[in-house]
Amino acid sequence: MKNIFLLLLLCHVSSAVKHSLKFFFTASSGVPNFPEYVVAGVVDEILSGYCDNNKKIVEPKHEFAKTFFKNDPQHLQWYTRECLEYLPYFLATLDNLKQRFNQSGGVHVLQKMDGCEWDDETGEVNGFNQFGYDGEDFIYFDLQTLTWIAPKPQAVSTKLRWDTEKTRIKDNEIYLTDICPGFLKKYVDYGKSSLQRKDLPSVSLLQKTPSSPVSCHATGFYPDSATLIWRKDGEELHEDVDHGEILPNHDGSFQMSVDLNLHSSVPPEDWRRYDCVFQLSGVKNNIVTKLDKAEIRTNWVSPSEFPAGAVIGVVVGLLLLALCITGLFIWRRNKNGFRPANTSDSSASLSDRNSAPD
């Protein structure tokens, strides 16, 4: 089963008509400057709501969520109760798991992700309820067999007990196949202008040095259901190509890159045979960028073009900086010892589906 427990970030390619609602619950210990308990709600890979044990209130993080909660304050109150009600239980469960794994100090994290996906074209619905501990899958619910799966030996006792709890299983089934998709459809309908928009990116060719791979970089597209490839003579290339992950931008759009390693044996006149193609799912026309040396952006400067005086100045400056750093390091070691680095509507009861492994 694919590891799901890295909250930020997510390389994801999906159907243009498939929508998702996910809730991430995180309890942690030993993490400096971070709340012990955090819950985040994500709609179509967009952070929509957030709460933690410090603020103790659900905060809408996207315009459609702000408008939705303003028009339906009871929905916001329901989410706030859902968030905070399970705070003590998740923290207690984290302590229980530390004992089960024979651990004491250090950083430890218990996470849960539950939610659903809905294809608005086929009507297909899929749900998931999964737990992870210290970055690895711990136990998850199989909606097809209505049983719990325990990838870790330490989770077997929990699986055996939960498999006998028919009320818990029924609550999970109802939530994943009915309640969650109902919420998701409401959110998608409410946020059509933002969640179902199609934004095309700007595409650039980048290169660090003349011998470095040429990177085709697309940024500003939405949603993240996109592909970016290199072609030669109209055929997709697989060798000498390195695909980067789809990453979020601060404005909610996405970016991605794909590198092409051009061997020195490729003559300049053959460059025109290569192009980079960006395709956004649901959009008919692709963005095709021809490999043109004149269009490649770079900060590289030939040594022959760099003033000799500037080179000497940079070298001297680096030597002085190295001496200063060395002196500071020795002073800290002698005076204070070595310092560690700073680290910084449903009225139905959903209590069973929000339980953590115990």
Does residue 167 sit in helix, strand or coil?
helix
Quote the pLDDT of residue 16: 43
The gap between the terminal CA atoms of the chain, to the nearest Å, is: 22
pLDDT single digits (tens) 163-214: 999 999 999 999 999 999 999 998 988 887 767 778 899 999 999 998 899 9
**Number of helical (H) and strand (E) elements in the chain, helices listed first:** 8, 18
Quote the pLDDT of residue 310: 46
DSSP 3-state percent helix, strand, coil across the chain (nearest 5)? 30, 30, 35
> d(Cα 32, Cα 344) in Å, to the nearest integer?
5
Q: How confident is the model at residue 131 (pLDDT cuts 50, 70, 90)?
A: very high
Quote the pLDDT of residue 350: 42
Q: What are phi and psi of 214, to 5 degrees?
A: -90, 125
pLDDT single digits (tens) 303-316: 555 454 544 444 44
Measured in residues, the chain has a length of 358
Quote the pLDDT of residue 253: 85
Quote the pLDDT of residue 80: 86
The mean per-residue pLDDT over the stretch 15-24 comes to 79
Does residue 265 have a pLDDT over 50? yes
Q: Which two tokens stand for residue 78?
A: 């329901």
Quote the pLDDT of residue 319: 42
CB–CB of 257/263 below 8 Å?
no
The mean per-residue pLDDT over the stretch 324-339 comes to 34
> d(Cα 258, Cα 206) in Å, to the nearest integer?
10
Does residue 9 have a pLDDT over 80? no
Does residue 270 have a pLDDT over 70? yes
Quote the pLDDT of residue 148: 97
Does residue 117 have a pLDDT over 70? yes
Quote the pLDDT of residue 354: 60
From the list 114, 147, 152, the residue with the least C-alpha distance to 130 is: 114
pLDDT single digits (tens) 144-154: 999 999 999 99
Does residue 256 have a pLDDT over 90? yes
pTM of the model: 0.61
pLDDT single digits (tens) 26-78: 999 998 889 999 999 999 888 888 999 988 888 888 888 888 888 888 888 88
Q: What is the CA radius of gyration of the chain?
A: 26
Quote the pLDDT of residue 182: 94
